[in-house]
Amino acid sequence: MTREEKRRLIEERHKHIREVLKKHGHDILESQKFHKTKHFIQHGDMTVYDHSLSVAERAIKINRFIHAKCEERDLVRGALLHDYFLYDWHIDGKDKGNVHPKLHGFFHPSTALKNANRDFVLTEREKDIIKKHMWPLTIVPPMCREAWIVTLADKYCSAMETLGLHKLKVRAIYIELPDDERE
Ligand SMILES: [Fe+2]
Ligand SMILES: [Fe+2]
């Protein structure tokens, strides 16, 4: 397979995953309230909005790769809303909604669940995904496979974002372009 073919394949897969996100989460993605997550930073320079989309994409990929047979709609919607806490956790105690500034890691799943319950209709699986995504901090483990997959996807994406490796990956796809043109 040439670099160009490989690049096209990656782009097609990425486009397909984005279509799956839109299919299951269009009301969330179109919601003005969800767009507020664009104003909050999650890790590095990654917004909560971009992080949530990345986690949803990664969760779909893991589910399909290991044939976990998750309910994809719950997986996508739970992943999109898993960090719907709607405050800047970097501003120590000064942002509205950050009720336990020193313990953001422990408390933000319940805040996200409260907000998501208020703004969207959630299934039991989606609630479990949001509530347990910080396991083992939550102590009680996830009760469905969808929540396990999102927990794993979230840890993977968070590590990549914290280390700045998600940018290298994006760059690696597009850096190949000039080489491809020379072939
Ligand atoms: Fe989180
Ligand atoms: Fe997260």
Centre of ligand 2 from the C-alpha of residue 15, in Å? 22
Between 123-127, 146-150, 159-163, 171-175, the lowest mean confidence (pLDDT) is in: 171-175
CA of 56 to the centre of ligand 2 (A): 10
Fill in the amino acid letter for 61: K
Which ligand places an atom closest to the C-alpha of 42?
2
Element (H, E) at 63: helix 48-65
Structural domain boundaries in the chain: 3-182
Cα of 70 vs centre of ligand 1, distance in Å, is 20
Measure 168 CA to ligand 1 centroid, in angstroms. Answer: 23
Q: 4 C-alpha vs ligand 2 centroid, how far in Å?
A: 33
b vs e for 14-30, b when ≥16 Cβ sit within 10 Å of the residue's Cβ? Answer: eeebeebbeebbeebbe
Q: What pLDDT band is residue 169 in, cutting at 50, 70 and 90?
A: low
Distance 77 CA to ligand 2 centre (A): 13
Of all ligands present, the nearest one to the C-alpha of 55 is 2
| Residue with the two structure tokens 């105690």 | 93
Nearest ligand to the CA of 159 is 2
Whole-structure pTM over 0.75, yes or no? yes
Which tens digits make up the pLDDT trace of 25-45?
A: 999 999 999 999 999 988 888
51 CA to middle of ligand 1, Å?
Answer: 10
Which ligand approaches the C-alpha of residue 110 most closely?
Answer: 1
Rounded to 5°, angle at Cα 71 from 69 and 76: 115
* 3-state class (DSSP) for residue 133: coil
- Taking only the tens place, the pLDDT of each residue in 140-149 is 999 999 999 9
Q: Which residue has the tokens 């700045």?
A: 164
pLDDT tens for 87-131 read: 888 876 566 777 776 788 898 999 999 999 999 999 999 999 999
pLDDT band at 178 (very low <50, low <70, confident <90, very high): very low
